[in-house]
Amino acid sequence: MSDKKTTGIWKVISASSMGTMIEWYDFYIFGSLAVVISTKFFPSDNPTAAFLSTLATFAAGFVVRPFGALFFGRLGDIIGRKYTFMVTLLLMGGATFLIGCIPSYETIGFMAPLLVLVLRLLQGLALGGEYGGAATYVAEHAPAGQKGYWTSWIQTTATVGLFISLMVILITKSTLSKEAFDEWGWRVPFWVSILMVLVSYMIRKNMHESPVFAKAKEEGKTSTNPLKESFGNKYNLKFVLLALFGATMGQGVVWYTGQFYAMNFLKTVMSVDSSQVDMLLGIALILGTPFFIFFGWLSDKIGRKYIMMGGMLIAILLYRPIYKQMYKTTDLTLKTEVVANTKVVPSMKEIDATKMDSIYTTTKTYTDGTAVEEIQTKHFEAGKIMLDDKGKDKIETKVTKSINSSDKWMLVFLVFIQVIFVTMVYGPIAAFLVEMFPVKIRYTSMSLPYHVGNGIFGGLLPAISTYFVTSAKDAGNPEFYLEGLWYPIGIAAVCFVIGMIYIDRKINTLHD
């Protein structure tokens, strides 16, 4: 490729990637702060239900993504790629900023979760239109035979967006006191988003339309009804369904297991300190991100199919051993407590004239350097301990572990392995989808299976898996923490079988 063409495509990738990265950042801020958000926008009397409600609201943004794919995909195939993902960028940025401005549940009651849900749905709609536009735009600028390599740069934006969201949260936490962050500091990452969006808008404004689409439009070969041609045509619909059930469905669950489920597992099941989780996840993402490029490049050489299917198969086989080792790494029953250092500090918090909380803060240290803080809260009303919805004493226990260096690096390694699975299934997927469909309906046709696979099957993973874990724990299952993995393993296994049987190497050159 000539220097002039190389410079040109790097400009395209930079403009597309920056906007897409910001949109992923916006989307992930909500998931990264799920534990905090559950205490701000939902009733606080049942922390588990509040957290599950937050995950459900998080998932709602994914569920609506296919509708965004249809709406914005249609616009992209009729009006053009450039103007469509300009709109999605502004819609996403505005919704994210406003989430950071919503008053808490204590201030406006049920209007708080309702407003969050509405804005979350707008985020999902915007993201549904963004990714397909960016991937298509880059692919249509890439030389033949190199689409895997060049579009893989777009694939890094999701992970980079998550990494930046973690870093912004970490910096905000380290800058503010714990009380200040809990009171208002958690809103800062949402507000920061608007500044990045404005910068990206100025860059994208100077971009030109995709040459492939511009030529098709000039020759009158664009579609007047992309939805009908994409899904009403049996031949094209067959490829849409194959893309979904043979590729993106499995890719979606592997992606969210390796990043979001791993993060929630560390924070809620393993009770590792939130800042430490953000840090170790950030390290794993930095180490793993270059492999998106590697597997995208490799897919140009040996094909997309076996790299993506290989990633799914390895994930299916190794998820349970990996998460078992993760849990074992910080399992306190396997560590030796320094009993002489254990301290219990009781305190009381008056809620009103009839209600009060009795709080016991226990700090423990272990010989390997692990430190644990356990806060047990008993709720009293009229001098009697309150009961929960199951008729038991209403006692809440929150455990936070500060892990030692050895355990931290073991967890970084175990998360890094999962990120490698992600790079294998996700690195080649954009080129794979672009090559399946013709130019005039490409934006619409590729966006729907991608966002159903990621939005529905992937986006529902945190809520479904957390529910499985919670149910197994309530049932007294000693390995309850592994139950949430059956969902991604099952979905990936079905996708692997379909993909291996029906995906043909010829698909890679259909519209190259």
* Predicted confidence (pLDDT) at residue 422 exceeds the cutoff of 80: yes
Task: Let me know whether 39 and 52 are in one domain.
Answer: yes
Q: Which of 382, 402, 422 delimits the end of a domain?
A: 402
What's the rounded Cα separation, in Å, for the pair 278 and 260? Answer: 11
Rounded alpha-carbon distances, angstroms, from residue 385 to 49, 56, 376, 391, 396: 21, 31, 13, 11, 12
84, 199: one domain? yes
The Cα–Cα gap between 148 and 52 comes to: 37
Instruction: Say whether both 390 and 410 belong to one domain.
Output: no
Question: Residue 48: its pLDDT value, please?
Answer: 66
Mean pLDDT computed over 286-290: 92
Is the pLDDT confidence value at 163 over 90?
Answer: no
Query: What is the value of pTM for the model shown?
Result: 0.81
Judgement on whether residues 173 and 70 belong to the same structural domain of the protein: yes
Regarding whether 155 and 55 lie in a shared domain, the answer is yes
Q: Which of these three, 350, 373, 402, is where a domain ends?
A: 402
Are both 228 and 367 inside the same structural domain?
A: no
Residue 446 pLDDT more than 60? yes
Q: What is the mean pLDDT of residues 262-270?
A: 89
- Structurally, the chain folds into a number of domains equal to 2
Residue 444 makes CB contacts below 8 A (sequence gap 6+) with 69, 70, 73, 74, 76, 77, 132, 226, 227, 230
The mean per-residue pLDDT over the stretch 382-390 comes to 70
Helices (H) and strands (E) in the chain, counts: 23, 5
Cβ–Cβ under 8 Å, residues 373 and 400: yes
Domain residues for the domain of 369 are 339-402
Write down the pLDDT at residue 107: 85
For residues 408 and 281, give the distance between their C-alpha atoms in angstroms, rounded to a whole number.
10
Specify whether the CB–CB gap between 126 and 88 falls below 8 A. yes
Give residue 506's pLDDT.
Answer: 55
Specify whether 86 is located in the same domain as 228. yes
pLDDT at 323: 96
Q: Are residues 23 and 68 in the same domain?
A: yes
pLDDT above 70 as % of the chain? 91
Distant-in-sequence contacts of 208-212, Cβ < 8 A, 24+ apart? 208/82, 209/80, 209/81, 209/82, 210/80, 210/81, 210/82, 210/136, 210/137, 210/140, 210/141, 211/140, 211/141, 212/140, 212/439
| Rounded distance between C-alpha atoms, residue 357 and residue 376, angstroms | 10
Q: How far is CA 434 from CA 174, 229, 449, in A?
A: 42, 16, 12
Say whether both 396 and 412 belong to one domain. no
* Residue 501: burial class (beta carbons within 10 Å; 0-12, 13-18, 19+): exposed
Residue 346 predicted with pLDDT over 80 = yes
- With 0-12 / 13-18 / 19 or more C-beta atoms within 10 angstroms meaning exposed / middle / buried, residue 124 is buried
| Averaged pLDDT for residues 174-187 | 88
Q: What is the CATH number of the domain that holds 273?
A: 1.20.1250.20
With 70 as the cut, is the pLDDT of residue 390 above it?
no
Which amino acid, residue 490?
Answer: G
Residues 390 and 430 in one domain: no
User: Of the spans 8-22, 187-201, 325-339, 341-355, which averages the highest pLDDT?
Assistant: 325-339
Supply the DSSP symbol for 505.
G
C-beta separation of 52 from 466 below 8 A? yes
Domain boundary (378, 402, 426) is at 402
Q: Which two three-digit tokens encode residue 186?
A: 């958690």
Of the pLDDT bands very low, low, confident and very high (cuts 50, 70, 90), residue 205 is confident
- Mean pLDDT, the chain, whole residue set: 84
Q: In the predicted model, what is the mean pLDDT of residues 328-357?
A: 86
Residue 398 pLDDT more than 70?
yes
The pLDDT value given to residue 508:
52
DSSP tag of 41: S
- What 8-state DSSP symbol labels residue 254? H
pLDDT-derived band of residue 46, with 50, 70 and 90 as boundaries? low
pLDDT tier for residue 505 given thresholds of 50, 70 and 90: low
Residue 410 shares a structural domain with residue 500: yes
Mean pLDDT, to the nearest integer, of 102-128? 84
Closest CA to 41 of 122, 121, 114: 114
Confidence of residue 266 (pLDDT cuts 50, 70, 90): very high
Instruction: Judge if 298 and 383 occupy the same domain.
Output: no
Percent of the chain with pLDDT over 90: 31
Query: Given a cut of 70, is residue 1 above it in pLDDT?
Result: no
403 or 379: which carries more pLDDT confidence?
403
Q: How confident is the model at residue 28 (pLDDT cuts 50, 70, 90)?
A: confident
Please report which confidence band the pLDDT of residue 45 belongs to, taking 50, 70 and 90 as the band edges.
low
The confidence score (pLDDT) of residue 388 equals: 64
Instruction: Quickly state the pLDDT bin for 3 (edges 50, 70, 90).
Output: low
Pure H helices in 380-511: 405-426, 429-434, 442-451, 461-474, 486-502
Relative to beta strand 371-381, strand 355-365 is antiparallel
d(CA 51, CA 463): 9
Question: Tell me, what's the pLDDT at 6?
Answer: 61
Whole-angstrom Cα distance, residue 1 to residue 7?
10
For 75-87, what is each residue's pLDDT tens digit?
Answer: 778 777 777 877 8
Using DSSP's 3-state secondary structure scheme, residue 177 falls into: coil
Q: Does residue 43 surpass a pLDDT of 90?
A: no
